[in-house]
């Protein structure tokens, strides 16, 4: 995929999430199985990086279920980071820090505190990143901020698996992008809550997760499915760097 198409797709998604930040955050509850299903994989007293943290709902879950965690949330959308930090000020048992950081840019990890991390969570992010090489570059950066025995938890959206999701697919003509410039598995999906929006999504299946892991120095240890009314709307993968995982500590307040 050429650089111009990559930038157009990234800009499309930035506009979407900036415009619908409030409505999107309201649609993602802390009790969502697409979030709570990762709890068994989150260590106690650990330093955790949440890549594409959105409104920081993982920090709320950690405060309830993993008190004593040190949490860092990173997202490219300032509007979501503002909401995340406002929520996190109410959390008594979790040290929370947020950064506006675009994971598709080089060196996005440089300003992150508390590195290296025991666990990096990358939920519903990779399918919004155009181009296989760019997705692999993001995962290499994730590997670079992990403890040697730390691990990453990924999820990707299985939007082709169910008819109600497939109905969201619209033609690329709506954004004047030539489909010939795209990768197989690239789609344009609409959103109709609080207005109509459009966003780019790539279908990341299990085979591609394996390829991405191999390209970024990870090993896929486990995969499972959860989320959505069907119970399998997201594909999850637990990755490590070939050693036994471990956990680690600490607590405090919220900083930005």
Q: Name residue 72's beta-bridge partners.
A: 49, 97
3-class SS string, 153-212: EEEEECCCCCHHHHCCEECHHHHCCCHHHCCCCEEEEEECCCCCEEEEEECCCHHHHHHH
User: What pLDDT was estimated at residue 28?
Assistant: 61
Per CATH, the homologous superfamily of domain 3-183+204-255 is Vaccinia Virus protein VP39 (3.40.50.150)
User: What pLDDT was estimated at residue 249?
Assistant: 35
Beta carbons of 130 and 1 less than 8 angstroms apart: yes
Residue among 170, 171, 122 nearest 150 (CA) = 122
Pairing of strands 70-75, 95-100: parallel
CA distance 158 to 177: 23
CA distance 144 to 136: 12
Query: What is the residue-level pLDDT of the chain in tens, covering all 256 positions?
Result: 999 999 999 999 999 988 886 766 665 667 888 889 999 999 999 999 999 998 899 999 999 999 999 999 999 989 889 989 888 888 888 899 999 999 999 999 998 999 999 999 999 999 999 999 999 999 999 999 999 999 999 999 999 999 999 999 999 999 999 999 999 999 999 988 888 999 999 999 999 999 999 999 999 999 999 988 889 999 999 999 886 544 433 333 344 4
- Round to the nearest angstrom and report the end-to-end CA distance of the chain: 35
Burial per residue of 48-66, b for 16 or more beta-carbon CB atoms within 10 angstroms, e otherwise = bbbbbbbbbbbbbbbbeeb
| Structural domain spans, the chain | 3-183+204-255
For residue 3, the 8-state DSSP code is H
46: left (phi over 0), alpha (psi -120 to 50) or beta: beta
């Amino acid at each position: 995929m050429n650089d111009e198409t990559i930038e157009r797709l990234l800009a499309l998604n930035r506009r979407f999430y900036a415009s619908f930040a409030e409505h999107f955050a309201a649609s993602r509850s802390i009790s969502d199985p697409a979030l709570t299903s990762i709890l068994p994989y989150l260590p106690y007293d650990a330093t955790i990086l949440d890549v594409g943290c959105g409104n920081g709902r993982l920090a709320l879950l950690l405060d309830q279920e993993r008190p004593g965690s040190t949490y860092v949330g990173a997202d490219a959308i300032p509007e979501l980071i503002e909401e995340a930090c406002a929520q996190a000020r109410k959390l008594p048992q979790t040290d929370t820090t947020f950064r506006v950081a675009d994971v598709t840019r080089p060196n996005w990890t440089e300003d992150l505190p508390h590195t290296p991390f025991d666990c990096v969570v990358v939920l519903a992010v990779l399918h919004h990143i155009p181009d296989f090489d760019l997705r692999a570059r993001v995962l290499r950066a994730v590997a670079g901020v992990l403890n040697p025995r730390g691990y990453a938890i990924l999820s990707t959206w299985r939007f082709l698996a169910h008819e109600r999701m497939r109905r969201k697919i619209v033609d690329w003509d709506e954004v004047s992008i030539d489909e010939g410039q795209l990768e197989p598995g690239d789609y344009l999906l609409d959103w109709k809550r609080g207005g109509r929006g459009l966003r780019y999504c790539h279908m990341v299946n299990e085979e591609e997760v394996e390829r991405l892991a191999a390209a970024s120095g990870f090993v896929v240890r486990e995969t499972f499915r959860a989320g959505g009314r069907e119970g399998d709307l997201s594909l999850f993968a637990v990755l490590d760097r070939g050693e036994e995982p471990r956990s680690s500590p600490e607590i405090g307040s919220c900083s930005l």
